A and B are shown apart, each in its own frame.
Chain A
Amino acid sequence: MEILMSILIGVLITAGTYLVMSRSLLRIILGTSVIGHGALLLLLTTAGLKEGAPPITNIEALTYADPLPQALILTAIVINFATTGFFLVLAYRAYKELGTDDMDKLRGIDDE
């Protein structure tokens, strides 16, 4: 299972990186989102995947899943959602204001 997850994470981060390198702003935003999913899955995987164990319900439980990674991921998902939402709005505003979503044309010049 861990190996499958590692491959999936690798694919996600590769695809995300490829998208971030592209010129279109929308693809870049999608890329950051995909990288984010890869990072979250990595957090889940490195903490150890267990099958069939419930979270801690009583102290005597012999086997249980670690609840902390879930808590961390939940927090990170919320943050990821907020930043992606903000980034999309910012990109839309910039597109309307500047008339382009091509990163090459957003390079900027000193004199305006």
Chain B
Amino acid sequence: MNNIIILLLLIPLLTGVLLIFLRNRISAQRWLSILSLLAVGVIAAIIIQRVLNEGTMTLDLGGWEPPYGIVLVADMFAMLLVFTTVIVGICCLLYGFRTIGEEREKFYFYTFVQFLLVGVMGSFLTGDLFNLFVFFEVMLLSSYVLIALGGKKVQLRESIKYVLVNIVSSMLFLIAIAYLYGMLGTLNFAHMAIRVSEAGQDGLLTTVAIFLMLVFAIKAALLMYFWLPGSYGAPPMAIAALFAALLTKVGIYSIFRLFSVVFPHQPEITHQLLAWLGILTMIIGAIGAVAHWSLRKILAYNVVVAVGFMIAGFAVFTTTAIAGSVFYLIHDMFVKALLFILGGIMIGLTGTDKLREMSGMIRNHASLGWMFFIAALALAGVPPLSGFIGKLLVLQGAIGEGFYIIAAVGLITSLMVLYSVVKIFINGFWGENQLTVEDEKMSTKGTLLPSAILTVIVIGMGLGAEFVNVYIMEAAEVINNPSLYIDAVMPNGE
């Protein structure tokens, strides 16, 4: 009955394997990878409708009932993220068709994109901590390959650091799993939640929870963002867009899930800590975004700011703020993909990512300029675009709970973010046009389609907020009321 959930993972996995055998037939690879993602998108949409009508769906793999087997949980929050992932994946692929180059296409670029998406979607769907670790590794191994693919000097240098940071944090993840298994004797989220609430969340458990928070903070670039600007600046922009939209979000998702379902009992320690981490991340990210004059660096630091904002919103821990955070999370996946793709086109046209060497592109590329402008406004949260509602809800929640610092820092960093992206807009599109069409390093043909799709989504999510809100509220309800999740996974109790 619920077996449809496994298709979300099986289709891209098998497509990825199939693509290995089609190495030299590039157009077949392109068609297959798009078709696979379209199929996953349709299935995800069907599941979302069913979840909306009938509540959370679960699938016990191999027929082993939880807590003995691994369970996949399709609740509204996970499914919305899966759906967003698929759309972002399609847009990045469309952009990649034009820009990634034959060399990379022949060396399994499409295969690893499929595997990356398996890892990301698997992390969203799984209901088991060790399985989460496994899907993290699926995602990370694909990302190691994608970041190094092409073997340029800067890529090799940055990928070594990226791989090292992630291997060490994976080891910390494993150590945290070991402690938790020793204490609770289970790794299923719902089962852990039951045992934690029965035994009480004592100091030792809270310590392990903070240890896990540290692991996910490294993966999500929460305060420990030091690896992010370098490694997101190395690969081609199609891959960087995929990373910026998806990878850090998996860490954020894990924090949302763990600290709402399993460890919600000591918010005065854990959530307070999350709030401060979020605030500091926002401030540091915004300073980085304002300070740099390189397009790639500015966009990378904007990823960091958004991570801080979402975590701070979650840390407020009221229905309004959580709904705002979920809305902002989904908005951010779209808008980051859009910004990186548009930035990639700008870099592709001028052949440099230094803002001081660009100018006047609006003359030959008006639609590119206007889309960048819309993306910039959406990122900063100007109404009626998609960033506005998320920010509004988070700020309402924060002020209602007396978290004035989050509200103040959130607003100030929004302005700094706006400044940083408008700086790109002014330098890139205003002023004297130095670039004739003949001098351009690439043509924009075919690259404007994915950006247009994402722009329409960003506008639509803002204008159609009433429609989107039904789903977001449902997702926030599950986070806010973990017993819904626990009952769905283990209907008969322990």
Contacts and interface: CB of A to CB of B under 8 A. Distances in A.
- The answer to whether A and B interact is yes
B137 A87 contact: no
B160 interface: yes
A55 to B, nearest CB: 15
A35 B171 contact: yes
Nearest to A106: B157
A56 B285 CA distance: 52
Given A43-B174, A46-B182, A108-B154, A86 B294 contact: no
Contacts of A60: none
Nearest to A87: B163
Interface string B134-163: 100100110011001001011011111101
B153 A93 contact: no
Given A32-B171, A87-B163, A87-B167, A94 B156 contact: yes
Contacts of B148: 90, 93
Contacts of A90: 144, 148, 156, 159-160, 163
A54 to B, nearest CB: 19
A104 interface: no
Contacts of A42: 174-175, 178-179
B160 A106 contact: yes
B230 interface: yes
A75 B134 contact: yes
Interface of A: 20, 25, 28, 32, 35-36, 39-40, 42-43, 45-48, 68-69, 72, 75-76, 79, 82-83, 86-87, 90-91, 93-94, 97-98, 106, 108, 110, 112
Contacts of A106: 157, 160-161
Contacts of A76: 133, 174
B419 interface: no
A43 to B, nearest CB: 4
A112 B160 contact: no
Given A32-B167, A40-B174, A97-B153, 16 more contacts: A36-B171, A42-B178, A43-B174, A47-B178, A48-B182, A72-B130, A75-B130, A79-B170, A82-B141, A83-B140, A83-B167, A90-B159, A93-B156, A97-B156, A98-B156, A108-B230
A43 B168 contact: no
A112 B458 CA distance: 36
A36 B151 CA distance: 27
Contacts of A72: 130, 177, 181
Contacts of B145: 86
B164 interface: yes
B157 A83 contact: no
Contacts of B154: 108, 112
Contacts of B182: 45-48
B316 to A, nearest CB: 34
Interface string B186-198: 0000000000000
A60 B294 CA distance: 68
23 contacts: A32-B164, A35-B168, A36-B171, A39-B175, A40-B174, A45-B182, A46-B179, A46-B181, A47-B178, A79-B137, A86-B163, A87-B163, A90-B148, A90-B159, A90-B163, A93-B151, A94-B156, A94-B157, A94-B159, A97-B151, A98-B153, A106-B157, A110-B294
A58 B183 CA distance: 26
A106 B148 CA distance: 15
A59 to B, nearest CB: 14
Nearest to B148: A90
Nearest to B179: A46
A83 B179 CA distance: 23
Contacts of A86: 141, 144-145, 163
